[in-house]
Structure 1
Amino acid sequence: MPRSKRIQPTVIVKRRYEDEGEEHNSAWKLAYADFVTAMMTFFLIMWLMNVTTVEQRKGIADYFNPVALSQANSGADGMLAGRSVDKTGALSTPNAPGEHSVPVAAPPVVASLGDSDRQPAGRKDPMPNPPGGKAAPDRNARAELEAMLDRQAAALTEQQALDEAERDLRRRIATTPDLGALADGVLIQQTPQGLRVQLTDQVKASMFNVGSAQMNDQGRRLMRLVATAVAAAPNRLSISGHTDALGYADGAKYGNWELSSDRANAARRELIAAGIPAARIVRVEGRADLDHLDAANPLAPRNRRISITLLRGGE
């Protein structure tokens, strides 16, 4: 083959054409996201309708209501509020001629006002009964809630009064040195029944003589001190007398039951003499030797005591 006729190389050019549909491959994702959002909103609305009451749903609807106008008012609210001359209201189209107004469709009115802006017209009962009588249970629930809140407030006030009486009594005992050993035998504690003050005998100090229901001078001073501390609290009082296990030689005629009852009654008389109204004392009882403070030692002096309780309201 002659050299002048060389074979030219063949060049093949491959062109790649992009598919026009590839630009929109992600469009379905946006549509799916919108669908999921709509379904979540739908189920959320269904859930809210199931767990809310009629009044709550109405309140939610009123919250999203863009307008709340009165058809009888015109001008601004408050001190500058006016009244429309026309009973049909102050709503008019801006294209109306100057000599008259053309009524237009009114927006939904949330509250129709009467003679006073604070008193809705035609409504005396703030919670009218809807068809079906569903408002009565709601009113009962509200009344129960208000009663529960009142009870809680009363219990809190009562507890504050008991705490104040306890602090006052402890302060008075600490600042009264002439009580002697009896001051060490005063036990003060809060119980479910109320504030309990127990006046116990000591080894060398006692409110009563042995086997007697006659209160001595130290016992009377201590009883009057207690009366002064509890006088400010309006709570009712309960008094109980207790003895030790030491019995009488002739228990058939007079025993620890009679002695504990007589001592409790003597404490009642001293409280009344110190200024406590007799109507506040609702219980006076003798417990004999049934309730010992020192159960391991039935003859211990501290088992002989007078217990005074400021009762709570429910007792």
Structure 2
Amino acid sequence: MSANKEREVPVRIIYRKKGHGHGHHGGAWKVAFADFMTAMFAMFLVLWLINQSSDVKSAVAGYFQDPLGRADEFGSSIVPGEGAQASVVRPMRPTDVTDMRLNKMEVMSRLQEELASAPELKGVMDKIEIKLTDEGLQIQLLEDSTGVFFESGSASPSWRGRGVLAILGQELGQLPNPILIAGYTDARPYRRADGYSNWELSADRANTARRILQLNGVGDHQVLQIRGFADRDLLTPGDPYAASNRRVSITMKFDGTPAPSDSTGSAGPQAQGAFE
């Protein structure tokens, strides 16, 4: 017995405590961090807006007033197929959203600035008349005895004529508004042996202007009418032979302006001449 007792080894049970580290702090820090990031984003957005131009500010304000921008295009009915017929809208360039929200005076001012800054137009700006009419924003290219924009008795544009029409095409092409183009002559008798007269000349000059405008940005869907008035709508009635009666006018219509009247002159996107 004594020998067995000597061989017995006491069993020791050791309990080791596992460390749990720091206690759980919860998710409160995540909420605070999210609030901080939101505040920083809002601050940078405000700083960005403050440094933007008035055009961008106007566009941003307009977006929040009408985020979807569908009321004018698709009508007021919520039933598919009812309401105003959806208009076909061309893919918009980045500046279109801003330009669409510019008012008439801003568009007119920008056109004047662009034309005045063109070196090729120095000295002839007094022959370019931009004004607001009942039909919309009207740009008139007025001739003089030297043939500023078109060669005398011809529908071929001068280099200045091509230059001003190219600038107008770039600017007007950024807007979705429809355009009316009209040609006018003075009262001097003009008739070639083949019967070509002031009627054809006025309409052909308007059509030449259309081609140059479209080559430089104006969309085909924008051209509403090409009209030739010959000498039936003189700019200077008191002097029917005045060179300023020979002109080409480009009118951009805005919402609310009346439709063009069926007055004397040719009408239609592909008009080649005008007869009564």
- Pick the TM interval, shorter chain: 0.5 to 0.7
Q: Say which of 230, 236, 240 aligns to 1:294.
A: 236
Alignment partners' CA distance in 1, 2:179 and 2:213:
10
Alignment partners' CA distance in 2, 1:168 and 1:264:
23
- Note the C-alpha offset of 1:181: 3.9
Aligned to 1:267: 209
- Letter of the 1:173 partner, please give it: L
Question: Structure 2 length normalisation: TM-score?
Answer: 0.54
Q: Say which of 162, 165, 169 aligns to 2:104.
A: 162
- Note the C-alpha offset of 1:205: 4.3
Aligned to 1:282: 224
Alignment partners' CA distance in 1, 2:208 and 2:103:
26
Q: Is the 8 A contact 1:181 1:202 kept in 2?
A: no
Aligned to 1:200: 142
Q: Say which of 248, 270, 275 aligns to 1:306.
A: 248
Alignment partners' CA distance in 1, 2:109 and 2:175:
12
Measured against aligned partners, the alpha-carbon deviations of 1:128-165 in whole angstroms (never above 9, x if no partner) come to xxxxxxxxxxxxxxxxxxxxxxxxxxxxx978342222
Question: Structure 1 length normalisation: TM-score?
Answer: 0.47
Aligned to 1:124: none
Q: In 2 relative to 1, CA 280–211 (structure 1 residues): closer, same or farther, beyond 3 Å?
A: same
Alignment partners' CA distance in 2, 1:189 and 1:251:
38
Q: Is the 8 A contact 1:228 1:274 kept in 2?
A: yes
Alignment partners' CA distance in 1, 2:223 and 2:191:
33
- Specify the structure having the higher radius of gyration (Cα): 1
Aligned to 2:121: 179
Q: Is the 8 A contact 2:182 2:203 kept in 1?
A: yes
2:155 matches 1:213: yes
Aligned to 1:190: 132
Measured against aligned partners, the alpha-carbon deviations of 1:78-125 in whole angstroms (never above 9, x if no partner) come to xxxxxxxxxxxxxxxxxxxxxxxxxxxxxxxxxxxxxxxxxxxxxxxx
Measured against aligned partners, the alpha-carbon deviations of 1:237-256 in whole angstroms (never above 9, x if no partner) come to 00000011112254771111
Q: Is the 8 A contact 2:116 2:122 kept in 1?
A: no
Alignment partners' CA distance in 1, 2:182 and 2:141:
11
Alignment partners' CA distance in 1, 2:101 and 2:139:
16
Q: Is the 8 A contact 1:182 1:200 kept in 2?
A: no
Greater RCO (Cα-Cα under 8 Å, separation 6 or more): 2
Alignment partners' CA distance in 2, 1:249 and 1:273:
30
Alignment partners' CA distance in 2, 1:160 and 1:212:
37
Aligned to 1:37: none
Q: Is the 8 A contact 1:165 1:230 kept in 2?
A: no
Q: Say which of 154, 163, 183 aligns to 1:241.
A: 183
Aligned to 1:224: 166
Q: Is the 8 A contact 2:172 2:217 kept in 1?
A: no
Q: Is the 8 A contact 2:155 2:208 kept in 1?
A: yes
Which secondary structure does the structure 1 equivalent of 2:170 belong to?
helix
Alignment partners' CA distance in 2, 1:308 and 1:204:
21
More deviation, 288-297/246-255: 246-255
Listed as ranges, the matches of 1:137-148 within 5 Å are none
CA RMSD, 1 decimal = 2.4
Alignment partners' CA distance in 2, 1:296 and 1:159:
40
Q: Give the count of matched residue pairs.
A: 161
Q: Is the 8 A contact 2:169 2:215 kept in 1?
A: no
